[in-house]
């Protein structure tokens, strides 16, 4: 892989740790952070906008409180979205990838997360006004100053990454991917990750399975019921195992704050779905046989 940093296979997504979810106290957040590390989840995924631009600060305070050495965890964060909230004077949601803003945003995240460097710094979503030279200038400056170690993107298409990578090395792409959101397998996203040795990450890795009670879920549930017995696993583990089998070596970003569910997700790494079982799930999700 192009990335030299060792990220945990299961990544802890922090979006719901703060005011957009469980609103954990400093002590609760520090305890959860420690629990993750103790169980092998050492990579934490952030974005500046989470919690209305307040999550990073809460996590940083909890990180200091936890006394966990910095070199035992990996911190990922994102920038670029200008969100409508009390913390920003924005008239409309938009994106800003100017050189000055990228540098300012990275430094702000460093301050809030109580760290001297970010392991991976991502552009959150592509902007039609993104200028690759400006982005490259900002990233190269931040890397030269030791403030970020690796640079990547989130929700970018292969052509958008190609544009950026003509100016600066792009080490990762975080996209929506699950059994019910399988577009990255077909639009070239994961082909690009494999070809250029970029780290692939999946947000919302369980998809809509637990959120929507529709025909798709009923078809998948019928298959999972049989596979649960075969693999001695629960539904979440089967869904994660399906993702983990893809050759792009996807890192699921698991957003739960429930300790049991976090620990359970790790067991998905021990499940090696048989080839036909993987396709049975795919067919159940898509509702038709493969071409």
Query: Mean pLDDT, the chain, as a whole number?
Result: 96
Please, are residues 135 and 167 in contact by the beta-carbon 8 Å criterion?
Answer: yes
Q: What is the spatial distance between Cα 102 and Cα 56, in angstroms, rounded to a whole number? A: 16
Q: Are 168 and 136 in contact (CB under 8 A)?
A: yes
Record the pTM. Answer: 0.96
Residue 1, pLDDT score = 45
CA neighbor of 36 nearest in space, from 200, 253, 270, 272: 253
Write down the pLDDT at residue 272.
97
Give the pLDDT of residue 90.
Answer: 87
Q: What pLDDT, on the 0 to 100 scale, is given for residue 3? A: 54
Question: pLDDT tens, 186-226?
Answer: 999 999 999 999 999 999 999 999 999 999 999 999 999 99
Residue positions annotated with a catalytic role:
50
Q: Domains for the chain: give ranges and CATH numbers.
A: 11-212+248-257 (3.20.20.100)
Q: Which percentage of the chain shows pLDDT scores above 90?
A: 95
Percent of the chain whose pLDDT exceeds 70: 99
Residue-wise pLDDT for 62-114, tens only, equals 999 999 999 999 999 999 999 888 778 888 999 999 999 999 999 999 999 99
pLDDT digits (tens, 9 = 90+) for 131-172: 999 999 999 999 999 999 999 999 999 999 999 999 999 999
Average pLDDT, integer, range 253-276: 97
> Does 243 have pLDDT greater than 80?
yes
For tokens 């090696």, name the residue: 272
């Amino acid at each position: 892989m192009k990335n030299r940093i060792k990220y945990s296979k299961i990544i802890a997504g922090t979006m719901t740790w703060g005011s957009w979810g469980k609103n954990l106290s400093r002590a609760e957040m520090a305890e959860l952070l420690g629990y993750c590390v103790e169980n092998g989840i050492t990579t934490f995924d952030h974005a500046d906008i989470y919690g209305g631009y307040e999550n990073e600060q809460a996590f940083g305070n909890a990180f200091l409180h936890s006394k966990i050495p910095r070199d035992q965890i990996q911190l990922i964060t994102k920038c670029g979205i200008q969100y409508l909230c009390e913390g920003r004077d924005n008239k409309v949601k938009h994106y800003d990838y100017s050189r000055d803003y990228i540098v300012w945003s990275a430094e702000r995240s460093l301050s809030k997360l109580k760290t001297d460097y970010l392991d991976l710094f991502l552009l959150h979503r592509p902007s039609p006004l993104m200028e690759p030279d400006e982005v490259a200038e900002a990233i190269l400056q931040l890397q030269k100053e030791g403030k970020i170690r690796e640079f990547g993107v989130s929700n970018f298409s292969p052509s958008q990454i190609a544009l950026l990578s003509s100016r600066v090395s792009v080490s990762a792409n975080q996209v929506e991917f699950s059994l019910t959101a399988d577009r990255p397998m077909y639009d070239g996203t994961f082909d690009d990750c494999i070809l250029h040795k970029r780290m692939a990450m999946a947000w919302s890795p369980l998809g809509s399975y637990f959120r929507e009670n529709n025909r798709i879920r009923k078809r998948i549930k019928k298959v999972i019921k049989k596979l649960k017995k075969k693999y001695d696993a629960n539904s979440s583990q089967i869904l994660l195992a399906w993702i983990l089998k893809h050759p792009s070596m996807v890192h699921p970003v698991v957003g739960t704050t429930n300790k049991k569910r976090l620990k359970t997700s790790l067991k998905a790494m021990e499940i090696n779905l048989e080839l036909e079982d993987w396709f049975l799930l795919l067919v159940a999700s898509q509702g038709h046989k493969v071409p």
